C-alpha cells in the first residue's frame, strides 16, 4: 500500500483525511504547512502527496513545483475549497496527478491515491528497466578484452549514435543479436522499440506478411488487418536475423522498403511510410550466396553500409576466462546458488576447449554446471566428456600361470601406487585391515622410512597369519582386479 503525506493547515480536516486513508491500510504522515511537508519529504520517502492549495507562505502550487524538481517519483493530488477550471488546468499543466475540490469525496480520493501510486510504481519500474537494459547492453556490457573484440566494441561505439544500416557477420552462437541489441540501446532510438525477426524460423508463405503486414481478406485466414514488423518498429530498430535465408522474392520487396522508406501490406495498395533503423545478421557467407545467385547484389550492398564481424570464440581464447566468470555470476544470482568459482584444473580444461558452439555453448554449459554443482567449486569431475574425458578405472594385467600370492602382491603394490602411497587409503580400497597391509608390505620388503620400518616390524611381530589360514575377509580383494590372459 502507498505511503501518503497529507498537507493541510486545518487540523480537523487533516485528521479526518488521515483517519480515512489509514483505515484503507495506507501509511499516512501529516504536515500542517508546506514548509513542514518539505521537511517530512527529506526524512521519509513518500509515494503520494495530498495537499491543500491555499496555505501559508508555501502554497500547494509551490509544493508541487518543489516536488517536481526534487522528488519526481512522488505523485501530487491538490485539494482546494476554491476550485476553478483555470486553477485545475494550471495544476495539471504543472504536473499534478489530479485536482479535487472541497468538500472531499473520500471514496474518490482513496481511488485517486491508489491510482496515482500504481502509476508512479509503473513509471519507476519502467525507468529501472531501461537503466538495466542500458547497463546490460552498454558497450562495456559486452564481455571480451581480446584485440578482435576490442575492434568490435569500437565499431559499436562508432555506429550506435547514427542511423546507418548495419550488417553483422559471425558464426552461430557468437553473439550477433547481443551486438545488435547493444547498438539499439546506445542509439538515439533507444526509447523506441527494437523488433526482432528470425528469417530462418518463418516459412516463406508467412515471411512477407510478418514483415509488411496484411489487409483483411488478403489471403485465407486473414480475418482482420495486421501490422507487420516494419510498422511495429517505426521510429525504432528492426533486427533481421539470418537474413541470408530470405527468398529472392522477399529480397526484392525488402530492398524497396529500405530504399523508399515505405511499405505496402499484403493485399493493400496504399504505401505506408516507415522510419526504421535496419540491422541485419547472418552466419552465412553472403559473397558465396551472391556467386550462387541466391542473394541479390543490390540488397547486399544496401545492407553492408557498416559491417561488423564477430570472431568465433576459438579465435579469442583469452576471452573464455572472462566469460566463464561472467556467466558464473549471472547464473548463481539467477538460480540462488553460491558456487565460488572453478577449480584450476577445470578452468584449464574449459579455457583450452575449442568451443564449436561459441559463446552460446559456453553460456549453456556454465548454467548447467552451476545448477548441478553440489559444492562451492566446479571441478573437472563435473565437466562433460567432450571437454574433460574421464579416465576409465585402472586395470591390472596378470600373466597366466602365476600363483595367487604373486597376483596378490602385484595387486597390493599397484593399489598402493594408485593412492599415492597412503597406507590407510590402500587398506580401505583392498578391504583389509591396516595391520594386514603392513604385514604384507613387510613380507614384500616394502618400507619407505625409518618410522615405517619400526611400525612394520612391530605389526609383523604379532601372531603370524599365513595366507592359507587367513580369514576370507582378509583374503578378499576389493575391487577385484581385471585379468588379461596371455600365454607365456
d(CA 352, CA 354): 6
Helical (H) or strand (E) element with 5: strand 3-7
Which residues have C-beta within 8 Å of that of residue 356, sequence separation ≥ 6? Answer: 314
Which residues have C-beta within 8 Å of that of residue 147, sequence separation ≥ 6? Answer: none
Q: How many other C-beta atoms lie within 10 A of the C-beta of residue 441?
A: 21
Same fold, 3-131 and 139-309: yes
d(CA 118, CA 375): 43
Residue pLDDT, tens place only, 361-377: 999 999 999 999 988 99
Helical (H) or strand (E) element with 261: none
431 dihedral zone (left: phi>0; alpha: psi -120 to 50; beta) = left
DSSP annotation of 175 reads -
Contact 132, 159 (CB under 8 A): no
Q: Which three cell numbers stand for residue 146?
A: 581480446
Contact 172, 356 (CB under 8 A): no
d(CA 168, CA 242): 10
d(CA 182, CA 136): 8
For residue 226, the Cα-to-chain-centroid distance in whole angstroms is: 32
Cis peptide, bond prior to residue 479, ω within 30 of zero: yes
d(CA 124, CA 409): 76
The whole-number pLDDT of residue 283 equals 95
Q: Classify 314-382 by CATH class.
A: mainly alpha
Q: Which three cell numbers stand for residue 25?
A: 491500510
d(CA 240, CA 250): 13
d(CA 312, CA 354): 10
For the chain, the structural domain boundaries read 3-131, 139-309, 314-382, 404-475
Contact 20, 106 (CB under 8 A): yes
The pTM (predicted TM-score) of the whole model is 0.58
Local confidence pLDDT in tens for the 488 residues of the chain: 788 999 988 888 888 899 898 888 888 999 999 899 898 888 888 899 999 888 888 888 889 989 988 888 899 998 877 656 677 677 788 888 888 888 888 888 889 999 999 888 888 877 776 666 555 555 656 888 889 998 999 999 999 999 999 999 999 999 999 999 999 988 999 989 999 999 998 888 889 999 999 999 888 888 899 999 999 999 999 999 999 999 999 999 999 999 999 999 999 989 999 999 999 999 999 999 999 999 999 999 999 999 999 999 999 999 999 999 999 999 999 999 999 999 999 999 999 999 999 999 999 999 999 999 988 999 998 999 889 886 556 677 777 878 888 888 888 888 888 877 888 888 888 889 888 888 888 888 775 554 555 555 554 455 444 444 444 444 444 444 444 434 43
CA-CA-CA-CA dihedral for 426, 430, 434, 436, to nearest 10:
-130
Helical (H) or strand (E) element with 409: helix 404-418
d(CA 73, CA 344): 48
The whole-number pLDDT of residue 480 equals 46
β-pair type (194-198, 237-241): parallel
Contact 5, 45 (CB under 8 A): no
Helical (H) or strand (E) element with 269: none
Q: Which three cell numbers stand for residue 471?
A: 580369514
d(CA 181, CA 308): 13
Residue pLDDT, tens place only, 50-65: 998 888 888 888 899 8
β-pair type (166-169, 98-101): unpaired
For residue 86, the Cα-to-chain-centroid distance in whole angstroms is: 51
CATH of 3-131, one of 3.20.20.70, 3.30.565.10, 3.40.50.2300, 3.40.190.150: 3.40.50.2300
Q: Which three cell numbers stand for residue 257?
A: 522498403
d(CA 396, CA 480): 10
Which residues have C-beta within 8 Å of that of residue 265, sequence separation ≥ 6? Answer: 212, 213, 214, 215, 218, 225, 226, 228, 272
Whole-angstrom CA distances from 327 to 82, 139, 312, 342, 380 are 61, 17, 18, 12, 18
Alpha carbon distance, N-terminus to C-terminus of the chain: 89
The whole-number pLDDT of residue 244 equals 94
Fold of 139-309: Rossmann fold (3.40.50)
User: 342 pairs with which residues across the strands?
Assistant: 378
* Positions of E strands within 338-484: 341-342, 377-378
Amino acid at each position: 500500500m502507498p505511503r501518503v503525506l497529507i498537507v493541510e493547515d486545518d487540523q480537523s480536516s487533516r485528521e479526518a483525511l488521515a483517519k480515512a486513508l489509514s483505515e484503507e491500510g495506507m501509511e499516512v504522515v501529516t504536515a500542517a504547512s508546506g514548509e513542514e511537508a518539505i521537511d517530512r519529504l527529506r526524512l521519509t520517502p513518500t509515494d503520494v502527496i495530498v495537499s491543500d492549495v491555499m496555505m501559508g507562505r508555501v502554497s500547494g502550487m509551490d509544493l508541487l513545483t518543489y516536488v517536481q524538481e526534487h522528488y519526481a517519483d512522488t505523485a501530487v493530488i491538490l485539494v482546494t475549497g476554491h476550485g476553478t477550471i483555470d486553477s485545475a488546468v494550471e495544476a495539471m499543466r504543472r504536473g499534478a496527478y489530479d485536482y479535487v475540490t472541497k468538500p472531499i469525496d473520500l471514496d474518490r480520493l482513496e481511488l485517486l491515491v491508489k491510482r496515482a501510486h500504481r502509476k508512479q510504481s509503473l513509471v519507476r519500474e519502467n525507468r529501472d528497466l531501461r537503466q538495466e537494459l542500458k547497463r546490460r547492453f552498454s558497450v562495456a556490457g559486452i564481455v571480451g578484452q581480446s584485440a578482435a573484440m576490442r575492434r568490435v566494441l569500437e565499431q559499436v561505439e562508432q555506429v550506435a549514435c547514427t542511423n546507418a544500416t548495419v550488417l553483422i557477420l559471425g558464426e552461430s552462437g557468437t553473439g550477433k543479436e547481443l551486438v545488435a541489441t547493444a547498438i539499439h540501446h546506445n542509439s538515439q532510438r533507444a526509447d523506441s522499440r527494437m523488433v526482432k525477426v528470425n528469417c530462418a524460423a518463418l516459412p516463406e508463405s508467412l515471411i512477407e506478411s510478418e514483415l509488411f503486414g496484411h489487409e483483411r481478406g488478403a489471403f485465407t485466414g486473414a480475418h482482420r488487418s495486421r501490422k507487420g514488423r516494419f510498422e511495429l518498429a517505426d521510429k525504432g530498430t528492426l533486427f533481421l536475423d539470418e537474413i541470408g535465408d530470405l527468398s529472392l522474392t522477399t529480397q526484392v520487396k525488402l530492398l524497396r522498403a529500405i530504399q523508399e522508406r515505405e511499405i505496402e501490406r499484403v493485399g493493400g495498395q496504399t504505401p505506408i511510410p516507415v522510419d526504421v533503423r535496419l540491422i541485419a545478421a547472418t552466419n552465412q557467407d553472403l559473397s558465396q550466396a551472391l556467386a550462387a545467385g541466391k542473394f541479390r547484389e543490390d540488397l547486399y550492398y544496401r545492407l553492408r553500409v557498416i559491417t561488423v564481424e564477430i570472431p568465433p570464440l576459438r579465435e579469442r581464447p583469452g576471452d573464455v576466462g572472462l566469460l566463464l566468470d561472467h556467466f558464473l555470476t549471472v547464473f548463481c544470482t539467477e538460480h540462488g546458488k553460491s558456487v565460488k568459482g572453478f577449480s584450476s584444473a577445470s578452468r584449464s580444461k574449459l579455457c583450452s576447449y575449442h568451443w564449436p558452439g561459441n559463446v552460446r555453448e559456453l553460456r549453456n554449459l556454465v548454467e548447467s554446471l552451476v545448477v548441478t554443482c553440489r559444492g562451492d567449486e566446479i571441478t573437472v569431475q563435473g565437466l562433460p566428456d567432450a571437454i574433460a574425458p574421464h579416465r576409465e578405472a585402472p586395470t591390472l594385467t596378470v600373466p597366466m600361470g602365476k600363483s595367487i600370492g604373486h597376483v596378490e602382491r602385484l595387486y597390493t603394490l599397484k593399489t598402493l601406487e594408485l593412492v599415492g602411497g597412503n597406507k590407510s587409503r590402500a587398506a580401505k580400497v583392498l578391504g583389509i585391515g591396516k595391520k594386514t597391509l603392513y604385514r604384507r608390505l613387510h613380507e614384500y620388503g616394502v618400507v619407505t622410512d625409518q618410522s615405517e620400518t619400526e611400525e612394520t616390524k612391530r605389526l609383523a611381530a604379532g601372531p603370524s597369519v599365513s595366507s592359507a589360514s587367513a580369514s576370507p575377509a582378509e583374503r578378499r580383494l576389493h575391487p577385484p582386479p581385471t585379468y588379461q590372459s596371455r600365454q607365456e
